[in-house]
Amino acid sequence: MPIRSYQQYLPKIPTTSYVDEMAVIIGNVTLGEDCSIWPFACLRGDVQAIHIGDRTNIQDGCVLHVTHDSIYHPGGKALYVGNDVTIGHKVTLHACTISDNCIIGMSAVVLDGAIIQSDVILGAGSLVPPGKILEKGYLWVGQPAVKKRALTEQELAFIRYSAASYVSLKNTYLYHDDAS
């Protein structure tokens, strides 16, 4: 079963969002409207919460997790992903914050306490170390991620296009006719 409770928590998934039958969502996870969770993505909200905004897509093979309460992290650390975010294939997000209107490139890793501000593209394979803040409006690349250049108007428009495109795609999965 791809959607599972953990202790007292059952994932909150609106009817407008799509979760592929090969994805797994566990525990304290809340999806916004019009989200899509694709095959082999794992969202595990067992020791803290995961919050996903509206029109955000989590692509194939992603791992999203959180940090537990300890003397090293009092209260633990939740994971927050904003609205209109595209999370590319095989991305790992761990107890971080991704603001609105971002693209996180394939196989990128974003670690505990990192903050990616709005209107950012994080290049494929990049690593965002714990606690790092990625400034709004830039392309960031590398291991560790460094600011490469300001995003163009075309790139900013593409971020929004990507999110809208995935809403359209998930609708073909969510509302398809099984009889055809």
Q: What is the pLDDT of residues 56-100, one digit of tens each?
A: 999 999 999 999 999 999 999 999 999 999 999 999 999 999 999
Would residue 180 count as lying in a domain?
A: no
Would residue 179 count as lying in a domain?
A: no
Would residue 144 count as lying in a domain?
A: yes
Would residue 69 count as lying in a domain?
A: yes
Among residues 176, 161, 180, the alpha carbon closest in space to that of 20 is found at 176
pLDDT of residue 177: 59
pLDDT of residue 52: 98
Contact (Cβ atoms closer than 8 angstroms) between residue 78 and residue 51: yes
Domain count, the chain: 1
The answer, yes or no, to whether residue 151 has pLDDT greater than 90, is yes
Phi-psi region of 178 (alpha: psi -120 to 50; beta: other; left: phi over 0): alpha
Would residue 110 count as lying in a domain?
A: yes
Q: What is the pTM of this model?
A: 0.95
Query: pLDDT digits over 29-38, tens only?
Result: 999 999 999 9
Would residue 141 count as lying in a domain?
A: yes
Residue 89 belongs to a domain with what CATH number?
Answer: 2.160.10.10
The answer, yes or no, to whether residue 178 has pLDDT greater than 80, is no
pLDDT of residue 21: 95
The answer, yes or no, to whether residue 1 has pLDDT greater than 80, is no
Confidence of residue 103 (pLDDT cuts 50, 70, 90): very high
| Mean residue pLDDT across the chain | 96
Would residue 142 count as lying in a domain?
A: yes
Confidence of residue 176 (pLDDT cuts 50, 70, 90): confident
Burial 69-78 (b: 16+ CB within 10 A, else e): eeeebeeebb
In angstroms, the CA 29 to CA 27 distance is 6
- The pLDDT of 132-151, averaged and rounded, is 98
Would residue 10 count as lying in a domain?
A: yes
What domain range is 57 assigned to? Answer: 3-174
Contact (Cβ atoms closer than 8 angstroms) between residue 137 and residue 120: yes
The answer, yes or no, to whether residue 180 has pLDDT greater than 60, is no
